[in-house]
Structure 1
């Protein structure tokens, strides 16, 4: 698994996206999957940058692996910030208007809908969010 560790700041979003996109392109991933994964990566990383260590700054580690049968990409996001399981919150009700729905929840819902698997664990003082997308769909 390839790995990148950065300070969890918004300024490092492009480095994280470049890292993931480079891995996907080197493995001939379909453009549709690259776009879906890029959006999910942005959503997850921005949330880490905004909330994991607020108001201080800590590290975020992103791991990426492409392979397996069927061919899939697995990406892990790890931070040592405040424990937070984004999957524990009830999905946003998209049938309600924005005013009725309230703030939050749409981003992780989008990630869950666009990926084949999304898992969260808190292990050894780290938040670990793992997304997986099959590439032959």
Structure 2
């Protein structure tokens, strides 16, 4: 597994995305899949940056692994922020207009819809969110 650890701030999203793209390109990842993973990285890291630590800040580690049978990319996000399982959040009602819909939740909803698997656990004082996408 290849990993990158950065301060959990929005300014580091591009750094993590570039790291991911280099790995995905080396495996010949299709452009559509890479774009979906880039969007997921943006959404998940944004949530961690804005909500996990509060004012004191903290770190986030993002790990990348390519698995075989089936061939898929596995991205693991790990932080020591406030315990939070984004998969428990109710999906937004996308049939409502933007004005009538509650604020929040659309980013994680998009990630859930674009990935093939997602899981969350809180272990050893860490939030661990895993997304998987078939290649």
TM-score normalized by the length of structure 2: 0.97
Q: 1:50 aligns to what?
A: 50
CA deviations 1:98-122 (Å, max 9, x no partner) are 2221111100000000000011111
State the Cα RMSD in Å.
0.8
Stretches of structure 1 lacking an aligned partner (at least 5 in a row): none
State the 1:7 CA deviation: 0.8
In structure 1, how many angstroms separate the alpha carbons of the residues matched to 2:129 and 2:28? 24
1:53-64 equivalences under 5 Å are 53-64=53-64
Structure 1 residue aligned with 2:78: 78
- Divergent runs of 4+, >2 A: none
Residue 8 of structure 1: CA displacement?
0.6
The whole-number CA distance in structure 2 between the counterparts of 1:127 and 1:112 is: 17
Match of 1:127 in 2: 127
The corresponding residue for 1:94 is: 94
Aligned length in residues: 135
Q: Aligned partners of 1:128 and 1:48: how far apart in 2?
A: 11
Alignment correspondent of 2:10: 10
Counterparts of 1:32-51 in structure 2, within 5 Å, are 32-51=32-51
The answer to whether the 8 Å contact 2:13/2:41 transfers is: no
> C-alpha distance in 1, partners of 2:122/2:50?
19
Report how far residue 67 of structure 1 moved.
2.6
5+ unaligned residues in a row in structure 2: which ranges? none
